[in-house]
Amino acid sequence: MLLQNTLSKYIFLVILGCSLIVSCSSSANSIALDTPSPPVDTQARTIKPSRTVTVTNTPLPTGTATSTATPSSTSTPPEPTSTSTVAETETLVEFKVPILLYHHVRGEKSTSRYQVALPDFKLQMEALHEMGYQTIPLPQFLDALDNGSPLPDNAIIITFDDGHLSVYENAFPIMKSFGFTGVFYIVANRIHDIPDFVNFAMLQEMMGAGWEIGSHSYTHSDLTLNHGLAYQEIARSKVDLEKALQTNVQTFAYPFGAFDSFLGRKVQEYGYQAGMGLGTSQNHTRDMKYYLNRIEIYGDLSLSDFKQIFIDS
C-alpha cells in the first residue's frame, strides 16, 4: 500500500514538471514574438569616407610644398619647371644700328619693288652721308653684340642680296665715293660667269675695297619648305664661297627672309656668326644674332620717306 502511494506521487510530480516546461516554452516564444526587432542601419552600407579622411590619407603634391617654401641659404634649390619664373635674367646690351637691304640698283626709274633706280640710290647715299652715318664692318657689329664693345655714333650696315651685276656696276662706285662699304650676299651657284651676276674677279675687287661677302644659300630656295636642303643650301654654299674667294664667310641671309628655329640652329651649327632676315627694327641684341632685322628699301620709296626711316627710329 505504501509503495503504491509513493509511485502515484512520483507520476504526479513528473506530469507537473512537464506542464511547467511546456508553459515556460510557450511564454518564451510569446515574449520573443512580441519583442520588435532592432532597426537595420542601411546607411552604414553606403556612407563614404569624409573629405577630412580623404585629404588626410592623400599626400600633398610635391610641387605645392616646394613652391611655397622659402629656401634656406644651405638648401638645394628645386629643379625648375616649365612654369617657373627665372629670378635673375641676363642683361643684354642693345645697339641701335640700321641694317639696310637692297637688291638691284639700276635704271633711271624703278619698275619693281626690288629695283632701286640709280638716281634714287645716289640721293639716298648722299642723305645718309649728310646725316652723319658711317658704315661699319660686320665683325665689329657682332663683337659689340657679343661683348658689349662700343660702336661709333650713327653706325649703319648696308647689305645687298642675290649677287646682281648692277650692284658691282652702280652701287659699288657710288658708295665708294661717300666712303661707304657694304655686305654682298651671294647665291653660290651664280658666281661662275652667269649673265647679270657678279663673278670671282668682281667680288675680289669689292673685297679689296673693304666689302664683305656672305652666303645667300646655294640655289636661293625657300628652306622652310624643305629642311632636307639645309646642308646643301647653308653648309655647302659657305664651303664653296670660301674656297672660291679665299675669304671667311661669316653670315647667312635667309632666302626670302623665310626662317624657322630649325634653320636658325643649322646656320649656327654650320659655323656662321649671324643670320640676316627682314624687319623694321633698328635695335639689336645678342639673342637676335641669327635673325637680324634688315629694312628693305623698296624701289618706289621717295627720298622723304627714306629719310623718315631714320627720323622715326
Q: What is the pTM of this model?
A: 0.72
Of the candidates 183, 170, 106, the one whose C-alpha atom is nearest the C-alpha of residue 137 is 183
- 93: which DSSP letter? P
The residue ranges of every structural domain in the chain are 95-312
Contact 162, 220 (CB under 8 A): yes
pLDDT at residue 90, rounded to an integer: 62
Amino acid at 207: M
pLDDT at residue 20, rounded to an integer: 39
- All 3 cell numbers of residue 182? 657694304
- Alpha-carbon distance of 227 to 222, in angstroms, equals 9
- 152: which DSSP letter? -
Listed in sequence order, the residues at least 6 apart from 288 whose beta carbon sits closer than 8 Å to its beta carbon are 145
b or e along 97-133 (b: 16 or more beta carbons within 10 Å of the residue's beta carbon)?
Answer: bbbbbbbbbbbeebeeebbbbbebbbebbeebeeeeb
- Alpha-carbon distance of 185 to 253, in angstroms, equals 7
- H helix or E strand, kind and range, residue 305: helix 303-312
pLDDT at residue 91, rounded to an integer: 72
Q: Tell me the pLDDT tens digit for each residue of 199-238.
A: 999 999 999 999 999 999 999 999 999 999 999 999 999 9
Listed in sequence order, the residues at least 6 apart from 298 whose beta carbon sits closer than 8 Å to its beta carbon are 113, 116
657678279: which residue's cell?
Answer: 198
Amino acid at 254: Y
pLDDT at residue 313, rounded to an integer: 67
Please identify every stretch of the chain with a pLDDT value under 50, giving residue numbers as ranges: 1-89
Of the candidates 274, 271, 267, 234, the one whose C-alpha atom is nearest the C-alpha of residue 251 is 274
Contact 237, 226 (CB under 8 A): no
Amino acid at 25: S
Domain 95-312 grouped into CATH 3.20.20.370: yes
pLDDT at residue 81, rounded to an integer: 30
